[in-house]
Structure 1
Amino acid sequence: MGQGQQEQVATSLAGAVSEEISASLAPVDAELERRYPGDPGTRQPVHTVYVPGDAFAADTIRSWGDQALAALDEHAPNAASFAAVLGLSDELAEPVHSRVRAKLEHEPIEDLRVDFEDGYGPRPDAEEDETAARAARLIAEAFKNGTAAPYMGIRMKCMESAVRDRGIRTLDIFLTGLMEAGPLPDGLVLTLPKVTYPEQVGAMVRLLEAFEKARGLEPGRIGFEIQIETSQSILATDGTATVARMIQAAEGRATGLHYGTFDYSACLGVSAAYQASDHPAADHAKAIMQVAAAGTGVRVSDGSTNVLPVGPTAKVHDAWRLHYGLTRRALARAYYQGWDMHPRHIPTRYAAVFAFYREGFAQAAARLARYANRTGGDVMDEPATAKALSGYLLRGLDCGALDIAEVARLSGLTRADLESFATPRRGDLTASGK
């Protein structure tokens, strides 16, 4: 066939065949869109900090930042000493150290939960009532005056019978207090702990529906995180993955799945000395959570370490190395969020996160640029990989590990370009047929 000659195309199937198949799959198409909408494309905090309800104050966020800075000044006063503790390369030492200090000065906490569960414990009703009202007032004021963390909210007591009424009342007082102070803040996050049955998630949905109706809010306005702390939340008695059913039971309101390291470990009988986020039992639970949440828009968070960086410098350094290593391990496994239990955990949280993004962003930016420009290279990437590359860069930008100027310099892409790759249409991801 000569160059430029049009290829002859022939088919054997009538158009009605395609129409019939499309009609038969229409319910499946709708189900895919409903159950698997994809990542929401919003910022995900790198950590969650839990503060007991009675300890939460207007200056808590600033206090945590100051304590973290003081720990750096005392135990790793410069870039070289901090890098030596954590094993950072010479290339990363200065940018990581300077960015950690800047983060602690300007945004020490990304996500804060005022705790009315384990960290608060049972209290007289009048005391918890007052503490819940106070938390609402302080959080509302923080969002108004610009001192809030990007995300803030409460962890209520669970839906088990012994504390159910108390948890519902605390949530009602807290949300009502926020509403009295003005519209609900965009960064509001609620956590439902110790969930074992999907019906408990469904009860939370009914509770929020009732509150929205009572206050004239748009249906579905309030979402919540599900905390995974029991074996029953991973595997049900019939062998099904309970956590997947919990996401369904949330009816689109679930925003996250948070792994509870110590409650879950204890539930399986793991000895206290071995209860850690890198235990095989933890890896199994989080893998199930990750697969159940994939594509649903629900994000997975790792747990915490209870080894605190306190005491003499050598002990602080040991705890920092442990925390840094666990955080890096989680990031490599695509758990982009975790818990921090102490102000002195914050420096190594950000050091791990910043090092993770800074050491790989040049390669990711160049690789995404080749994909965007169709210039090829030594790796053949597809839309799904472009999504992962852009998501990596956006996460680095959101937390402060990267600047848009340096990403744009290496990739030639704007933030809008990155966002378009990170949230492609469903068909774009399968266009290559892979």
Structure 2
Amino acid sequence: MESEPPGLDLLVAELDERLRAVDAALAAHYPGERPGRQPVHTVYVPADRFHPGLVPEYGRTARRATEEHEERLLALLGGDGDLLARVRAKLGREPVEDLRIDLEDGYGTRPDDEEDRDARAAAGALAAAVAAGTAAPFTGLRFKGLEAPTRHRGVRTLVLFLERLLEDGPLPEGFVLTLPKVTAVEQVEALVHAASRLEPALGLADGALRFELQVETPQSVLGPDGTALVARMVHAAGGRCTGLHYGTYDYSAACGIAAAHQSLEHPVADHAKAVMQAAAAGTGVRLSDGSTNVLPVGGPEEVAAAWATHLRLVRRSLERGYYQGWDLHPAQLPTRFAATFAFYREALPAAAERLRAYVGRQESGVLDEPATARALADVLLRGLDCSALSSDEVGAATRLDAPTLAALAHRTHRGEG
């Protein structure tokens, strides 16, 4: 190595000093991707309908829909019987990856004593499901938001739910709160304050209460000063924010979109989700698309049409880097997993070949950079997480083990699971 130019060390030291604060801020604000599994969907269930056996019940309902309309579903899957078999197995083993007990819009406004009762009962049912092994791997609560008209009711429900849930054991692993209709950074700061007050009162560790923000209002995307408030919200959460969830219908309606044209693929939705994506990048905060209200119910043709729409929308979200979405009905589960499994299985051959070339520095037709290798590894890990891919087939295709893939995907560095 040639000797360094005169004065280089001094110049670099001066730059280190000038940029020290910037370096520290960058590391604090952008710790990198959150390691661990991200669920492929969140299933919303009104609190008064939740019971300890709901997840296996949803699986049975989804399998019945698959069996009843098997020919139509198989046709939508291009005749791929292996894919359908994988979906059936998933529905039998793990039909719901993430479940949100809903005491907001899906539950509605009810007398206080009724909501008190339902909040406690749902918390007891969740504790029973966890104890029985029938709970989803990830669970949580959506309570009414912190805007003035719903603030007291929402916080009361949150406290009652947590008190009852913790009577029967610890906070379930993967439990998260959902804050809807966020309109101001100060509401996020208020939830951080509430969480920090509740944790010691409930015997929880500092930072145990984490939350996701629902982007359902234009105010959360664009503030009165023209800035992207959703970015400020992420950083105002003090590391407690785990996700940004797009709210299809509230957001579209607030933008003046007629009901017939409100959807996940409307331009206003794409704009909001692009801003959310940029705001979350590098922060460890994950993204979730919203829902479609076109449900697979009714006659065979109606079910098939709704399934076709759901398959297309799920695939569209995945291609745009939204690896999670909402499901509102058990008959949406077959197409959620079918679209998701197909996406990851189709990605495997090319991703494996490119990763082998990258790791081995082999000559190939594609020159990949570290950022692309990270994305290639991440897509395979996501396929493994949801059971679209098996460890054997990924290992055989890539000649890499899971820890190596995790390192390539940067899932093993800063941040908590």
Inter-CA distance 217–57: structure 2 relative to 1 (3 Å threshold): closer
Counterpart residue identity of residue 18, structure 2: S
Q: Is the 8 A contact 2:356 2:399 kept in 1?
A: yes
Counterpart residue identity of residue 238, structure 1: D
Tell me the TM-score normalized by structure 1.
Answer: 0.93
Work out the CA distance in 2 between the residues paired with 1:225 and 1:424.
20
Using the TM superposition, give the Cα deviation of residue 180 of structure 1 relative to its aligned residue in structure 2, in angstroms: 1.9
Q: 2:35 aligns to what? A: 41
Q: What secondary structure does 1:154 align onto?
A: strand
Q: Is the 8 A contact 2:289 2:322 kept in 1?
A: yes
Counterpart residue identity of residue 399, structure 2: G
Out of 224, 237, 240, the position equivalent to 1:250 is 237
Q: 2:6 aligns to what? A: 12
Inter-CA distance 24–424: structure 2 relative to 1 (3 Å threshold): farther
Matches for 1:42-121 after TM superposition, within 5 Å: 42-76=36-70, 81-86=72-77, 88=78, 93-121=80-108
Q: 1:417 aligns to what? A: 404
Q: What secondary structure does 2:139 align onto?
A: strand
Out of 160, 166, 169, the position equivalent to 2:156 is 169
Q: 2:25 aligns to what? A: 31
Work out the CA distance in 2 between the residues paired with 1:144 and 1:59.
11
Q: 1:137 aligns to what? A: 124
Task: State the percentage of identical aligned residues.
Answer: 53
Q: Is the 8 A contact 1:370 1:376 kept in 2?
A: yes
Q: Is the 8 A contact 2:73 2:304 kept in 1?
A: no
Work out the CA distance in 2 between the residues paired with 1:8 and 1:120.
70
Instruction: Indicate whether 1:199 and 2:186 are aligned.
Output: yes
Using the TM superposition, give the Cα deviation of residue 424 of structure 1 relative to its aligned residue in structure 2, in angstroms: 6.7
Using the TM superposition, give the Cα deviation of residue 241 of structure 1 relative to its aligned residue in structure 2, in angstroms: 0.4
Using the TM superposition, give the Cα deviation of residue 414 of structure 1 relative to its aligned residue in structure 2, in angstroms: 0.8
Q: Is the 8 A contact 1:85 1:321 kept in 2?
A: yes
Q: 2:216 aligns to what? A: 229
Work out the CA distance in 1 between the residues paired with 2:192 and 2:119.
20
Using the TM superposition, give the Cα deviation of residue 135 of structure 1 relative to its aligned residue in structure 2, in angstroms: 1.5
Q: Is the 8 A contact 2:31 2:283 kept in 1?
A: yes
Inter-CA distance 237–8: structure 2 relative to 1 (3 Å threshold): closer
Runs of 4+ in structure 1 over 4 Å off: 424-427
**Bigger relative CO (Cα 8 Å, ≥ 6 apart):** 2
Partner deviation per Cα, 1:192-234 (whole Å, 9 max, x = no partner): 0000101011111000000112234322121100001111111
Q: What secondary structure does 2:350 align onto?
A: helix
Using the TM superposition, give the Cα deviation of residue 426 of structure 1 relative to its aligned residue in structure 2, in angstroms: 8.6
Q: 1:404 aligns to what? A: 391
Work out the CA distance in 1 between the residues paired with 2:145 and 2:7.
57
Matches for 1:148-163 after TM superposition, within 5 Å: 148-163=135-150
Tell me the TM-score normalized by structure 2.
Answer: 0.96
Using the TM superposition, give the Cα deviation of residue 412 of structure 1 relative to its aligned residue in structure 2, in angstroms: 0.7
Using the TM superposition, give the Cα deviation of residue 293 of structure 1 relative to its aligned residue in structure 2, in angstroms: 0.5
Counterpart residue identity of residue 394, structure 2: V
Partner deviation per Cα, 1:356-409 (whole Å, 9 max, x = no partner): 001111111121111112223111111111110110000000111000000000
Work out the CA distance in 2 between the residues paired with 1:94 and 1:406.
18
Q: Is the 8 A contact 1:192 1:225 kept in 2?
A: yes
Work out the CA distance in 1 between the residues paired with 2:66 and 2:4.
72
Counterpart residue identity of residue 272, structure 1: A
Q: What secondary structure does 1:255 align onto?
A: strand
Using the TM superposition, give the Cα deviation of residue 63 of structure 1 relative to its aligned residue in structure 2, in angstroms: 1.4
Q: Is the 8 A contact 1:158 1:164 kept in 2?
A: yes
Instruction: Indicate whether 1:275 and 2:266 are aligned.
Output: no
Counterpart residue identity of residue 112, structure 1: L
Q: Could you say which structure has the larger radius of gyration?
A: 1
Q: Is the 8 A contact 1:205 1:251 kept in 2?
A: yes
Q: 1:315 aligns to what? A: 302
Out of 349, 355, 363, the position equivalent to 1:368 is 355
Using the TM superposition, give the Cα deviation of residue 14 of structure 1 relative to its aligned residue in structure 2, in angstroms: 4.2
Work out the CA distance in 1 between the residues paired with 2:75 and 2:349.
24
Q: What secondary structure does 1:54 align onto?
A: helix
Q: Is the 8 A contact 2:241 2:285 kept in 1?
A: yes
Out of 320, 324, 330, the position equivalent to 1:337 is 324
Partner deviation per Cα, 1:141-192 (whole Å, 9 max, x = no partner): 2222211101111100000111101110111111122222222111201100
Using the TM superposition, give the Cα deviation of residue 425 of structure 1 relative to its aligned residue in structure 2, in angstroms: 8.3
Unaligned runs of 5+ in 1: 1-6, 428-434
Work out the CA distance in 2 between the residues paired with 1:118 and 1:53.
11
Q: Is the 8 A contact 2:35 2:412 kept in 1?
A: no
- Stretch deviating more after TM superposition (217-226 or 202-211): 217-226
Partner deviation per Cα, 1:51-101 (whole Å, 9 max, x = no partner): 011111122111111111111111115xxx533124x3x5xx122101100
Counterpart residue identity of residue 178, structure 2: T
Partner deviation per Cα, 1:327-372 (whole Å, 9 max, x = no partner): 0000000000000111111110000000000111111112111111
Work out the CA distance in 2 between the residues paired with 1:424 and 1:259.
24
Q: Is the 8 A contact 1:65 1:104 kept in 2?
A: yes
Work out the CA distance in 2 between the residues paired with 1:8 and 1:424.
37
Partner deviation per Cα, 1:81-122 (whole Å, 9 max, x = no partner): 533124x3x5xx122101100011110000100100011111
Inter-CA distance 20–272: structure 2 relative to 1 (3 Å threshold): same
Q: What secondary structure does 2:48 align onto?
A: coil
Q: Is the 8 A contact 2:123 2:164 kept in 1?
A: yes
Q: 2:290 aligns to what? A: 303
How many residues align? The count is 414
Q: 1:430 aligns to what? A: none
Unaligned runs of 5+ in 2: none
Q: What secondary structure does 2:394 align onto?
A: helix
Counterpart residue identity of residue 136, structure 2: A
